[in-house]
Structure formats: C-alpha cells, structure tokens
C-alpha cells in the first residue's frame, strides 16, 4: 500500500514538473485589498469591539496554457494589544501584533491526464452550496468563526481535489483532505458566542474550568476528510448531490471530571473534548422562476456513532473505592437535517431583495437543537451606483415555536456604502441585537455596535 502511494506521488510530481518545465514566461498578476474594519459598542463607555487591519495579497500566475498558480495571503493586525507588564513593551508581537495567514496557495492543472479532468493541489477553498453565504452543504473546509458577523467564512484546507466534466452540463467533483483541521472559534467580544452555557447541579459553583482536546490521530483512517459531489443542469435548474465523510469541526465534551475546591460548593471541571465523525449527505439547486432567483440547499448529518458525555463525580463523593459517573447522550446516532431556502429579485427601479430561511445554524447539531432563522436584505443603489443603501437587513430567529416571546432574537444590520473612487469603498453600518432565550444572537444583545469599514482594491 505504502509502495503504491509512493509511486502515485512520484508520478504526480513528475507530471506537475513536466508541466512546469514547459512553462512559458507570462505575467504574474498581483492584486489585493486593504481593509480596515473598526467597530465600537453603542453603550457607554463605547468600548472598542473590533479592530482589524488586513492586507490581502493575491498572486495569480498562468504557468502554462493548462496550469496556473494562485494564492491568497492575509497580513493583518487583529484585536487590541494586550500589554500587561513592562516586559511586554520589549515584545513587538504584543505591542503591535501582526500575523500572516496563507488562505489559499495551490496549483491547478486543467485537462490533467484527460482533457475533461481538472486537478487542484494545495491549500484551497472548496466552496459548496447554492445559497447565499449560509451553506449547510459547505463542510469540507473548516469554519473560520473568528468574526461571528461574517457568517459562513471558511479557511482553506491542504487538499487535493478534482473536477471531472462528463460534458458541459454534468460533472463530478472529488476532494481529499489528509489532515483534519478544526474550526477556529470567535475572538474578542464574540469569544463566548458559540459556547453553550454549562448547567450545574443546584448548589454548585464553577470556580475553575480546564480542558484538553483529543485530536484525531494523524493517520488515513482518523484524520482524513473526503467528499464527492455530482453537479448537473437540467430543465433550467442547477442541482447537485454530495457526500462528505468528515468530522464536525467544533469540539464536543465527552468526559467531565468534577473536583470540589472548597466546602461551599465550589468545583473545578476538567473536560475532555473531541471531534466526532459524521456522514453528510447534501443536495442543492438554483434557478429562476418567473424572474425570481430561487435556491434551496439541504444537508443530512448522520453521526457515525452516538456521542455520550460522561460526568465523573467520584471526587465529589470521596468514596474509598469505585467511581460515580453519570452518562448523558449529547448526540443520537440519527439523521438531522439542516436546510436553507432562498429567493432574490431585482426590481425595475434598481432595488434588490434577498430573503432566506435557514433551519439549523453553523453551531447547532442534533434533531432537537436546530433553530429557525429568517434573513432579509433590501438594498438600492443611487448616484450612478456610487451610494448603496441597505435600510432593511438582518434576521429574525426563533429557538422555540411554542414560546416565541421568550425564545427569539432580532438582528438589524442597516448599511450605507459609498464608492469614493473606483477602487475605494467606505461602509458604515450598525448591528443591533435583541432577544430572549438560548440562541446565538440573543446572547449578543449587550453588544450593539457601530461598524466602519474601508476597502481599497489594487
């Protein structure tokens, strides 16, 4: 097996290098974007909620007629300096933190081995789904949840993928990601947005929490993710059917050890977290009915096995021997379905309307834990498209239909954007949250904010 792999890798390298040696001199296209994203809370004393300054660099080079190189690099400063001692002043990484991120870097070979096959090798985004930004079927790349308001952002994965075109209307896409990469979680004021509140027995107070993550072993069976998608076009509609064998990118608690730290109910919890395996069957479609753009996308998640969380309370009872544990099922081995339906329309006066209904947000899992989200975006351009207003933008979320009054959230994100020049866009917007109950956006109601962005493309 190892030998076969080696031979395969050698052949691949040989073929790529043959392509590269054939390379003709052509221009390397460099483009990019400078983004500054500043947000402050509306509530006094108007704490700074977000500071991001990002330089995106894109390198695009056609190596030969049938191959190209592409990369996207982020150089950025995010967050606020966390200076706590004079020693920190000697550390430029603390005083002025910058980081470099390779979002994508791949070589793409067109007509590889046969003219109907395109292959992409390297760090890449494999974007699946027909819906707008919220794509239940987009599960190959890990979620980049750093900015919770930038729904659906993913990081690139080190992968090999291919597209085989049967004809101009039907194709098969496959992807193999050798190493599992978990999602990165929200930062700054959004840090706890996706962390569910911990319910403790009455009389207990959490004094300390530690955890360790059990990463999947780095071998073919444990760390790999693979996906296959069949795409087609029929009767005026695009559609696809897909399958992913992967892991949920957000960890789930499987073993908690409770330890008393004082005599008045204070406890510490040490938690073992892991990423469970799951099968994901997807389907999507997009088309136009009577001038209205329509799309639908659904993903059926089937955990490979039941996920059980064990609470080890042995230390609480100080028994001379044996252990006291409580098991609870965190996730049944049963299918749960996330889906989205959407439509958009361009009115004759230039107004654009986009509505979507989503069942099951990014972080939600299990049949009984999926909430309903209604999103709307109404925008119109003025002054030769220089000014764009989105007076109605946001969402309404219901987490329990039997008691909507206590289980809802409202998100209102009006936006004004102005193209100062062909390449410079200034965006001013606000994010207003309200709600009750246990859902991601009602938890943000103390974080109403103003946002300013400048994007300059070059």
Partner 1 sequence: MKKIKIKTIIFSVLIIAGSMFTSNAQDANTILKNVDNVMYSPKDMAGKTKIVLIDKAGKEKTREATIIQKGTDKRIFRFTAPSSQAGIAVLSLPNDVMYLYMPAYGKERRISSSVKNQKFAGTDFSYDDMEAKPNAEKYTPKLLKTEGDVHVLELTPKSQKSEYSKVIMKVHKTNFYPVSAEFYDKGNKKIKEGKSVYVKIGNYWNAQEMTMTDLKKNHTTKMIMSDVKYDQGLSDEEFTVRKLKQ
Residues that bind partner 1 in the complex, under the rule CB under 8 A: 31, 58, 68, 110, 118, 125, 127, 130, 163, 165, 168, 171, 236, 238, 286-288, 291-295, 344-348, 350, 384-385, 419, 422-423, 425, 455, 457-458
Paired with 35 in beta bridges are 54, 455
Radius of gyration in angstroms for the set of CA atoms belonging to the chain, rounded to a whole number: 25
Residue 292 Cβ vs partner 1, minimum distance, rounded to whole Å: 6
User: Is residue 124 within 8 Å of 110, Cβ to Cβ?
Assistant: no
* Rounded least distance, CB 454 to partner 1, Å: 13
Q: Which is nearer to partner 1, 50 or 295 (CB)?
A: 295
At its nearest, how many Å lie between partner 1 and the CB of residue 352?
A: 9
With left for phi above 0 and alpha for psi between -120 and 50, is residue 236 left, alpha or beta?
left
**Shortest distance, CB of residue 149 to partner 1, whole angstroms?**
17
Give the residue with the Cβ less far from partner 1, 32 or 395: 32
User: CB-wise, 171 or 225, nearer to partner 1?
Assistant: 171
Taking the alpha carbons at both ends of the chain, their separation in whole angstroms is 48
Assign 3-state DSSP to the chain and report helix, strand, coil percentages, each to 5. Answer: 10, 55, 35
Among residues 97, 104, 102, the alpha carbon closest in space to that of 52 is found at 97
Please say which residue, 254 or 378, places its beta carbon nearer to partner 1: 378
**Nearest-angstrom CA–CA distance, 410 and 396:** 5
Among candidates 429, 433, 426, 397, which has minimal Cα distance to 412?
Answer: 433
CB of 338 to partner 1, least distance (A): 19
For residue 372, give both structure tokens: 């309903």
H helix or E strand, kind and range, residue 221: helix 220-223
Q: Which is nearer to partner 1, 33 or 279 (CB)?
A: 33
Closest distance to partner 1 from the beta carbon of 437 (Å): 33
Q: What is the smallest separation between the CB atom of 288 and partner 1, expressed in angstroms?
A: 5
CB of 77 to partner 1, least distance (A): 21
Show the tokens assigned to 454.
């400048």
**Helix H or strand E encompassing 73:** strand 67-78
Asked whether the beta carbons of 221 and 178 are under 8 A apart, the reply is: no
239 or 412: whose CB is closer to partner 1? 239
Instruction: Pick between residue 31 and residue 195 the one whose CB is nearest to partner 1.
Output: 31
**DSSP sequence for 97-129:** --EEEEEEEEEEETT-SSTTEEEEEEEE-----
Closer residue to partner 1 in complex, CB, 273/416: 416
């Amino acid at each position: 097996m190892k030998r076969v792999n080696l031979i395969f890798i050698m052949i691949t390298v040989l073929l790529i290098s043959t392509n590269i040696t054939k390379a003709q001199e052509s221009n390397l296209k460099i483009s990019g974007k400078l983004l500054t994203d500043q947000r402050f809370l509306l509530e006094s004393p108007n704490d700074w909620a977000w500071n991001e300054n990002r330089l995106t660099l894109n390198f695009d080079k056609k190596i030969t007629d049938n191959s190209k190189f592409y990369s996207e690099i982020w150089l950025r400063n995010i967050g606020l300096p966390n200076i706590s001692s004079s020693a920190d002043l000697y550390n430029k990484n603390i005083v002025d933190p910058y980081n470099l991120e390779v979002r994508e870097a791949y070589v793409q070979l067109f007509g590889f081995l046969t003219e109907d096959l395109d292959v992409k090798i390297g760090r890449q985004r494999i974007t699946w789904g027909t819906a707008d930004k919220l794509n239940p079927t987009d599960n190959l790349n890990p979620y980049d949840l750093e900015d919770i308001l930038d729904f659906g952002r993913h990081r690139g994965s080190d992968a090999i993928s291919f597209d085989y075109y049967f004809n101009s209307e039907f194709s098969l896409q496959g992807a193999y990601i050798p190493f599992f990469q978990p999602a990165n979680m929200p930062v700054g004021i959004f840090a706890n947005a996706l962390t569910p509140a911990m319910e403790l027995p009455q009389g207990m107070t959490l004094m300390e929490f530690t955890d360790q993550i059990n990463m999947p072993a780095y071998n073919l069976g444990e760390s790999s993710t693979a996906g296959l998608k069949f795409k087609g076009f029929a009767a005026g509609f695009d559609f696809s059917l897909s399958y992913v064998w992967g892991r949920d990118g957000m960890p789930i608690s499987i073993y908690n050890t409770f330890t008393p730290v004082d005599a008045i109910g204070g406890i510490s919890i040490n938690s073992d977290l892991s990423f469970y395996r799951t099968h994901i069957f997807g389907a999507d479609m997009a088309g136009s009915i009577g001038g209205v753009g329509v799309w639908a996308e659904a993903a059926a998640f089937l955990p490979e096995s039941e996920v059980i969380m064990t609470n080890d309370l042995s230390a609480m009872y100080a028994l001379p021997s044996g252990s006291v544990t409580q098991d609870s099922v965190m996730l049944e081995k049963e299918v749960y379905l996330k889906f989205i339906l959407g439509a958009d329309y361009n009115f004759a006066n230039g107004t654009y309307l986009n509505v979507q209904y989503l069942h099951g947000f990014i972080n939600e899992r299990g049949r009984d834990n999926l909430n309903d989200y209604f999103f709307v975006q109404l925008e119109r351009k003025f002054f030769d498209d220089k000014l764009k207003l989105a007076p109605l933008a946001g969402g309404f979320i219901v987490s329990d239909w039997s008691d909507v009054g206590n289980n809802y959230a409202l998100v209102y994100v009006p936006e004004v954007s102005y193209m100062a020049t062909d390449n410079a866009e200034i965006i001013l917007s606000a994010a207003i949250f309200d709600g009750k109950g246990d859902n991601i956006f009602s938890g943000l109601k103390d974080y109403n904010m103003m946002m300013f962005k400048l994007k300059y493309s070059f």
